[in-house]
Structure 1
């Protein structure tokens, strides 16, 4: 009888595969509010809702070479520090000199940003 119970218990396990969503966009518009100590690019992501913010996960990557390779953010690249923050419907990427105190010009090249939204049934 015990083997039958164990077999039935093992059969009751369910595995769910929850697909992720990937958004790829170009960033070329930066703003500053601190006279060039840092620059922020805001990306509209309507798919980023309160449910994903509370139960899912968000990953952000930047490509500095047209999408051939991606670096996961946060990242220091060529002396500049990149980090990101999320809010419902938006991702903000901040760029600043790696020392945090030197003013600089905003990034001039177009960067490709990949945002991965991972749903969860948690």
Structure 2
């Protein structure tokens, strides 16, 4: 009887210690999101010879590296009213289609007339703000 109590006490102690020693460790990596706003003046737009756009502007964005290109993402928003509102692109506004392409170090924003890429669209009257959001990513 005394041995049974000792064995039960040892078994209970062993069980309590075994389960209390188990801890789940979760390492959570937080990928970052970065943003910057660029001002595009009417004189910054250039004719595009690639056939993708009519006018384009290339922005130097060194934060877009190969890791962002491969596993992250880039979002672009344009403002035509000094930053009061921003439109996510791609977008068609008043018959003009805006789009963006990115590669390591460079973001290209371009636009063309929705109905015909060969039809020259008007240049913006004033500066356009381009908000660039860079999403740092990690492959699943």
TM norm structure 1: 0.83
| SS at structure 2 position matched to 1:54 | helix
Is the deviation greater in 14-23 or in 40-49?
14-23
**1:43 maps to what in 2?**
59
Q: Distance in 2 between matches of 1:68 and 1:86?
A: 25
Q: Distance in 2 between matches of 1:117 and 1:92?
A: 14
Query: Is contact 2:90-2:98 (8 Å) kept?
Result: yes
**2:6 maps to what in 1?**
none
Of 11, 15, 39, which aligns to 1:26? 39
> How far did residue 33 of structure 1 move?
3.9
**1:121 maps to what in 2?**
138
TM norm structure 2: 0.73
| SS at structure 2 position matched to 1:69 | coil
Is the deviation greater in 96-105 or in 69-78?
96-105
**2:105 maps to what in 1?**
89
Q: Which protein shows a greater Rg? A: 2
* Larger RCO: 1 or 2 (CA < 8 Å, sep 6+): 1
- Find out whether 1:78 has 2:94 as its counterpart: yes
**Superposed structure 1 runs of 4+ greater than 6 Å apart:** none
Say how many residue pairs are matched.
116
What runs of 5+ residues in structure 2 fail to find an aligned partner? 1-14
Q: Name the Cα RMSD after superposition.
A: 2.1
